[in-house]
Structure 1
Amino acid sequence: MDFLSDTVMLSRMQFALTSIFHMLWPVLTTGMGIYLVVVEGLWLKTRDSDYYYHARFWSKLYVLNFGIGVASGLPMEFQFGTNWAPFSIAVGDFFGSILGFEASMAFMLEAGFLGIMLFGWNRVPPVMHYIATIMVAFGANLSTFWILSANSWMQTPVGGEFVDGKFIVRDYFQAIFNPSMAASVSHMFFATLETSLFVIGGISAWYILNKRHQEFFSKSLKIVLAATIAIAPLQIAIGHISAEQVYHNQPSKLAAIEARWENVNAGESAPWSLLALPSKEAEKNIFELNIPHGLGYILEFKDKLSEPLLGLKEWKPEDRPPAIGLIFYSFRIMSGIGFFFVGLMLLSVIQWLRGKLSPENITQQSLLMLGWIFAAPLGYIAVEAGWIVREVGRQPWTVYGLIRTTDAASSLPASDVLGSLSVFAVVYTILFICALYFGSRIITKGPNFNLTVPGVEKEEDLDTTPAEFIPDKRPVEAQQ
């Protein structure tokens, strides 16, 4: 239990707890925001009231995630001043500016239009409401850009130099668009979108499996499926590009990802380990299950490597990433889930082409629906596993190759950090339980088909709403 007296380790644990918990919520809001833009756009184009009800239903889950995301995100940023003050002093001229851009450009844009998106139905013109929805989605995803740009700079720092212990920015554009930024932003953008799609698809499958509003939720499932046809394979391709970036810019992280202890020279082939049991003490893998020549094909699509691949022994023990096994298996969990999504998408497309996803037949696809329900939480696991690889793999550096984590932490009493860590653990547990409770209530209750559809004055104007779901003609105030 030595870590209980280690301020740096406790600060790392606290930041890991807050960031892992916080990541659960913006993952859904950034992707679901785009989905809301799509369904509201379909409603404006077709005037099919089902799409209107979809927009109203899924926006409830959106705002639940948004609220908890805000509540959990602010304490995470405060830690840069409390637990990581030396880091903030050293790189604040750049890092602080980027976080400021995220707050002023992205978060305020999303928050500013959120009220119109949630409460503007029947109060503002439909086109104005649609613009608000677009701005909310744009703001949420703009946050991804700024946060990933700042984090990517920590992975591949460029654009300035350290003078007397402080990073002086010489070229803001070079620092923002650092070598790993494009791949990182793209990979995270599609990760949030893919996760959201499979959550929406899983919830839709749950309704279909329980024979509740099957025709209604078959529409959302088909929208999701149409999007995943492109997104699921594309995410794997972008993930490969991200791995190439690590190969060229962060060799110690790649060595940890592959649990590779010995160097592989250029012109040689190397196996890829599906399973391994790394031993830090023995500096080798006690057990391995290898695919011959696999690493070359994964990194460069050919047998032999064109560049040398450094093994962990190339660095001193104190300069190697810790927890090799955690990094190794987190990467494989993330990748495995990505391929599972592709497989589920392909199977679903086949059934769709066979006519098995029609409203008359979709309830008979119980195994397929169970597959979508099973897939709903997997995107979260993949995202968290990816961030473990990204952040733990960067250690022992806070800014890769420039600032060690031990030098970036504030000098605080370990007891104080342990106390705040314990409080965060309790509060976040309560928040998580509340989120599950209110989320389950939203899902259990289902869509409200009694809402007044803007522009619909008569029953016969409704395109597809079943007779039992004729909109309530009372004023909005009375309905509430």
Structure 2
Amino acid sequence: MDLDPLLLSRIQFAFVVSFHAIFPVFTIGLASYIAVLEGLFYRTEDPVWSRLSEFWTKVFAVVFGMGVVSGIVMSFQFGTNWSNFSQATANFLGPVLSYEVVTAFFLEAAFLGVLLFGRNKVPPGAHLFAAVMVAAGTFISSFWILSANSWMHTPAGAELRDGMFHITAWGEAIFSPSFWYRFFHMALASFLTGGFVVAGVSAYYLIRGHAVDANRKALSMTLWLLLIIAPGQLVLGDMHGLNTLEHQPTKVAAMEGNWERQGYAPLLLFAIPDQDAQANHFEIGIPGGASLILKHHLDGEVPGISEVPRDEQPPVAIVFWSFRVMVGLGLLMIAFAVWGAWLRWKGRLYDCRPFLQGLRLMAVSPFVAVLAGWFVTEIGRAPWLVHGLMDQAAGLTPSLTGGMALFTLIGYVAVYAVVFTSGVYYLTRVVREGMEGAPETEQGSDRPKRPLSAVHTAFDENGPAPSGR
């Protein structure tokens, strides 16, 4: 049996990226949450905030380590499996990925040590500054990574000459047409991920009756965030989709399962795409829905997948269903945020067991949504590596054989299984052990106590002051 090195290399990179992506999207949001907790503790000296920060910093350290370990090998794959792509794009991707290391990774690595081991050893202001720098580092890192990725989707500021991309305008290349949509979409996804994980763990502790005061505050402040971020992500996602429609219409057509260009295109809720027949089976949809969303009027024309040759079409079924998983989970997140606001208004936020149990399960949903969105974005780009300019076959390493690709794929799966199992085991132990100190009695601080300010009461168990709700 012949082993296709292109297919195996695609599977290998997809596996590595998918495994790695779930860690940064969590640590970006969690780092900002820790910085907020440190700021609240510095301002109010309430030890509740310190205990929450210390607990979530432990979680952050484990997840950050897993992200680093799983992400390093991606750069090696550029050389081992995609050397032609690496050589062709070196003038842009080389500097951009180097900037990410110099400006972000070094920043995170330097201040993470202070954040982890400097509590009660450095001045409180220095510890807060370290938390802010770590959070800033995560966003700087995502800036450069998403700049590189966005350029591959909407290449700008460069021209292809003799098989090499030459930069003609660095500003246009770094800030490609899809960059800001992707950056803010990922930023909100990170906040949603961190928020639902914190809410889920806080709900778990409240069900157990552990550190009730601390976890009520954590749940309250997180639900206020989710009530804003979850609907905001829906709006931003729509803007991102319109940008994709302009620059990658075939991807949008695959997301909608629309094979022929048409007006009054239905918004398909269910269908079984058949790429061989270039048609769908068992369609269930809302007439005119896709035209209304994409063109903002019912008669708007939606592009069709069949407008491009079959060898330039992405795998439609995967893109179609991944998009629906992402959107469905996004709507479910909004529903939980609204449910939480209603329970808060009714004064039942902390004693509604179905809601708390639901939050525990929802802690997994952002990770699934992020992976589904990543599948839509990257599989929907196929067969292009640099959209419209370099396809996957042209970027493959010429000397790579199917056996070599299969061997390394098996190796990655085996090693990552050990990393993931070990990480989840340790995270489970951290969560089960809970926060240090008695469940109801907060441990004191060595620092002198000041009268609490309005910041302290901003996230009390009944909601934000002064409404009392």
TM score, norm. by length of structure 1: 0.91
Paired residue for 2:430?
Answer: 442
User: Which residue identity lines up with residue 278 of structure 1 in the other structure?
Assistant: P
Paired residue for 2:343?
Answer: 351
- Number of equivalences: 450
Spell out, residue by residue over 1:378-405, the C-alpha distance to the aligned partner (whole angstroms, 9 max, x if none): 0000000000000000000000000010
SS at match of 2:89: helix
Out of 278, 283, 290, which is 1:295 matched to?
A: 290
Query: Is the contact between residue 86 and residue 408 of structure 1 (CA under 8 Å) also seen in structure 2?
Result: yes
Paired residue for 1:470?
Answer: none
Spell out, residue by residue over 1:182-228, the C-alpha distance to the aligned partner (whole angstroms, 9 max, x if none): 10001001101111100010010011112222222111001101111
Paired residue for 2:19?
Answer: 21
Paired residue for 1:282?
Answer: 277
Out of 299, 309, 314, which is 1:316 matched to?
A: 309
User: Which residue identity lines up with residue 325 of structure 1 in the other structure?
Assistant: A
Question: What is the RMSD computed on CA atoms of the aligned residues?
Answer: 1.8
Query: Is the contact between residue 294 and residue 302 of structure 2 (CA under 8 Å) also seen in structure 1?
Result: no
- Offset of 1:319 from its aligned partner? 1.0
Query: Is the contact between residue 52 and residue 453 of structure 1 (CA under 8 Å) also seen in structure 2?
Result: no
Cα distance 1:442–1:462, how it changes in 2: closer, same or farther (>3 A)?
farther
- Offset of 1:310 from its aligned partner? 2.1
Paired residue for 1:211?
Answer: 209
Task: Give the Cα–Cα distance (whole angstroms) in 2 for the partners of residues 440 and 395 of structure 1.
Answer: 37
Spell out, residue by residue over 1:139-167, the C-alpha distance to the aligned partner (whole angstroms, 9 max, x if none): 01111111111100000001010111100
Detail structure 1 runs of 4+ shifted over 4 Å in the superposition: 450-454, 460-464
Paired residue for 1:73?
Answer: 71
Task: Give the Cα–Cα distance (whole angstroms) in 2 for the partners of residues 439 and 10 of structure 1.
Answer: 32
Paired residue for 1:456?
Answer: 447
Task: Give the Cα–Cα distance (whole angstroms) in 1 for the partners of residues 184 and 205 of structure 2.
Answer: 32
Query: Is the contact between residue 29 and residue 195 of structure 2 (CA under 8 Å) also seen in structure 1?
Result: yes
Paired residue for 1:61?
Answer: 59
Paired residue for 1:375?
Answer: 362
Task: Give the Cα–Cα distance (whole angstroms) in 2 for the partners of residues 330 and 270 of structure 1.
Answer: 20
Paired residue for 1:477?
Answer: none
User: Which residue identity lines up with residue 353 of structure 1 in the other structure?
Assistant: W
SS at match of 2:272: strand
User: Which residue identity lines up with residue 286 of structure 2 in the other structure?
Assistant: I
Spell out, residue by residue over 1:128-148, the C-alpha distance to the aligned partner (whole angstroms, 9 max, x if none): 110110000000111111111
Query: Is the contact between residue 120 and residue 129 of structure 1 (CA under 8 Å) also seen in structure 2?
Result: yes
Paired residue for 2:411?
Answer: 423
- Asked if 1:193 corresponds to 2:171, the answer is no
Task: Give the Cα–Cα distance (whole angstroms) in 1 for the partners of residues 95 and 103 of structure 2.
Answer: 12
Task: Give the Cα–Cα distance (whole angstroms) in 1 for the partners of residues 322 and 95 of structure 2.
Answer: 31
Task: Give the Cα–Cα distance (whole angstroms) in 1 for the partners of residues 9 and 375 of structure 2.
Answer: 16
Paired residue for 2:377?
Answer: 390
User: Which residue identity lines up with residue 332 of structure 1 in the other structure?
Assistant: R
Paired residue for 1:88?
Answer: 86
SS at match of 2:213: helix
Query: Map of 1:241-260 to 2, 5 A cutoff?
Result: 241-260=239-258
Paired residue for 2:326?
Answer: 334
Unaligned runs of 5+ in 1: 465-480
Query: Is the contact between residue 47 and residue 445 of structure 2 (CA under 8 Å) also seen in structure 1?
Result: no
User: Which residue identity lines up with residue 303 of structure 1 in the other structure?
Assistant: L
- Asked if 1:406 corresponds to 2:400, the answer is no
Query: Is the contact between residue 126 and residue 454 of structure 1 (CA under 8 Å) also seen in structure 2?
Result: no
Spell out, residue by residue over 1:421-462, the C-alpha distance to the aligned partner (whole angstroms, 9 max, x if none): 00100111111111110000000000112897654369x999
Query: Is the contact between residue 319 and residue 376 of structure 2 (CA under 8 Å) also seen in structure 1?
Result: yes
Paired residue for 2:218?
Answer: 220
Spell out, residue by residue over 1:111-133, the C-alpha distance to the aligned partner (whole angstroms, 9 max, x if none): 11100011111111000110110
Task: Give the Cα–Cα distance (whole angstroms) in 2 for the partners of residues 281 and 337 of structure 1.
Answer: 30
SS at match of 1:5: coil
Task: Give the Cα–Cα distance (whole angstroms) in 2 for the partners of residues 435 and 298 of structure 1.
Answer: 41
User: Which residue identity lines up with residue 257 of structure 1 in the other structure?
Assistant: M
Task: Give the Cα–Cα distance (whole angstroms) in 2 for the partners of residues 440 and 9 of structure 1.
Answer: 36
Unaligned runs of 5+ in 2: 457-469
